[in-house]
Amino acid sequence: MPSESETTPGPVLGSRSWDTRCCVVGGGPAGMMLGYLLARAGVEVTVLEKHADFFRDFRGDTIHPATTDVLAELGLLEEFLRLPHTEIPELRLGIDGQTFGLVDFRHLPTRCKFMAFMPQWDFLNFLAAQARQYPAFRLEMSTEATGLLRRGDQVIGVRARTAQGDVEIRADLTVACDGRFSVIREHADLPVREFAMPIDVLWFRVPRSQDAPPTLGYLGGGQIVLAIDRGDYWQCGTIIGKGTLTQVQAAGLAAFRDRVAHAAPFLAAGLAALTDWDQIKLLSVRSNRLRRWYQPGLLCIGDAAHAMSPAGAAGVNYAIADAVATANHLAVPLQRGTIAVADLQRLQRRREPAVRLAQALQRQQTRQLARLAQTNPPIQLMRLISHMPPVKRLLGRIVGLGFRREHIRSPHHASQR
């Protein structure tokens, strides 16, 4: 639990403070989309991002067809698609030199019948640029939320740290969008249900020395490798057993490079650039869900409410859907200054069933990934699925659209800078 000094508002020597209708903590996909949508609706909103920029490696690069439809509904799709990106109409898996198409987006009832791969920092900068067109939007970079401000049981804002000193931001509603290790969630002491995950992921860069087929995953030699095309390098991930990093390191970098090259031979030449374990970062796979996403004056969405496994690359899609639903439900109450606990309850009731279903599916997928990393590649099964168009299209709907799509229903305030 946070201490009384952290949660009780009061003057701080040399501090700055201001008021806003909504304070969004975290400038990831959920936070930036929500900030944009609320400002578009004429709601005064402040987004706090603890880093000086959005350039974070090892973030999800996937923009799903459901999300590109949201951008189309906002009139932003054409401009978005002018940014450098890769379009993948079918997710394919490479096994021992053979390639199998497994997830088909080409028949979805969407404007974009593909998954787009774009560095997340480009996507976040794009959303920030769009949001800045509205005078109701304020983005505070290098501003790290450190605690909650309360009046009795009511959250009335946050305390944050900046290079110039501490600040207090008072708000009718604080929305935690600060990720899997949410500081705001911790200070709110909201109960969390954790789900055991059998895998972790190691992320690393490999210089690009040759082209490869548009295949996301590669399997072989007891290794599963993801390779995302970033132009002059591959952003790669490989699956290891939960908590086995020490054993992987003990086997040595040469053995690690050999296993990765066995699964994805086109990476072999570039893997020589991996000369130190400091170049390889651990993503501790975590899956959990808040039992209650809110307190009076506080709401958690995205990974702060429900951390997702990387299986199916669904996290960004569900974070965006949360943000759209939040704006749809709360923009008008925020405009009127009448935000109530019942509004937050309705938002959780709308979003939680889809999240529960997605997380249950992800747990099954993650267990399958863990087994695949320890057994011989299931070539016959992959060949069977690749020759079953209805199955591939069903998987395309589940991955590309998720459960319970959200559409733009929040108002549009025409005033722009």
Residues 223 and 294 in one domain: no
CATH number at residue 347: 3.50.50.60
Residue 311 lies in a domain: yes
292 and 216 co-located in one domain: no
pTM over 0.85: yes
Residues 25 and 171 in one domain: yes
Q: Give the pLDDT means over successive 10-residue stretches in the chain (417 positions).
A: 37 65 96 98 96 72 93 97 92 83 94 92 95 96 95 96 93 95 93 89 86 73 81 86 92 93 88 93 89 97 91 84 98 95 97 94 80 69 86 93 94 73
**Residue 208 and residue 349 share a domain:** no
Residues 130, 27: one domain?
A: yes
**Closest C-alpha among 366, 350, 275, 346 to residue 318:** 350
Please answer whether residues 173 and 23 qualify as being in contact, where contact means their C-beta atoms are separated by less than 8 angstroms.
yes
Residue 12: per-residue pLDDT: 39
58 and 142 share a domain?
Answer: yes
Place of tokens 């054409």: 78
DSSP string, 211-260: ---S-SEEEETTEEEEEEE-SSEEEEEEEEETT-HHHHHHH-HHHHHHHH
Separation CA 6–CA 15 (nearest Å): 14
User: Comparing C-alpha atoms, which of 177, 137, 116, 124 is closest to residue 37?
Assistant: 137
Amino acid at 203: W
- Tokens at 358, concatenated: 């997605």
64 found inside a domain: yes
* Residues 248 and 354 grouped into a single domain: no
Give the residue from 367, 389, 412 where a domain finishes. 367
Among 289, 132, 268, 153, smallest CA distance to 207 is for: 268
Same domain, 204 and 187: no
Domain co-membership, 52 together with 161: yes
Domain range enclosing 186: 4-89+112-194+286-367
**In-domain check, residue 144:** yes
The confidence score (pLDDT) of residue 101 equals 87
Tell which of 283, 314, 332 closes a domain. Answer: 283
- Whether residue 307 sits in one domain with residue 279: no
Task: Mark whether 307 and 235 lie in a shared domain.
Answer: no
- Which residue is listed with tokens 């030699």? 221
Count the Cβ atoms, other than its own, within 10 Å of residue 10.
9
* Domains contained in the chain, number: 2
**Are 138 and 269 contained in the same domain?**
no
